[in-house]
Amino acid sequence: MGKVEEIIELMTAVIEDSSVPKNIRKALSDAKERLRSDDELTVKVSAAIYSLESVAEDVNMPPHARMQIWSIMSELESLKE
């Protein structure tokens, strides 16, 4: 399994967590769809990070979800290098 697929699985786990607010799950879904697009890797990764940055500091996010999102963003950043 490739790195992108692993990140998509991490995103899916957070999306399926009902304790995570709907707007955050929506941002994760958008990021996941961007990673599945046919664009160049750096374009896909940048678009996904942009989606997640918009909710990463949301005050309504449970602490465990914030840690997961930071982890996902870190993994995405490592793909850009």
Name the pTM for this structure. Answer: 0.90
Instruction: Name the DSSP letter for residue 38.
Output: S
* Residue 76: CATH number of its domain: 1.20.1440.50
End-to-end CA distance of the chain: 19
CA 33 to chain centroid: 10
Q: Quote the number of domains for the chain.
A: 1
Written as tens digits, the pLDDT of the chain (81 aa) is 689 999 999 999 999 999 999 999 999 999 999 999 999 999 999 999 999 998 988 999 999 999 999 999 999 999 987
C-alpha span between 78 and 81 (Å, rounded):
6
Q: Which domain holds residue 40?
A: 3-80
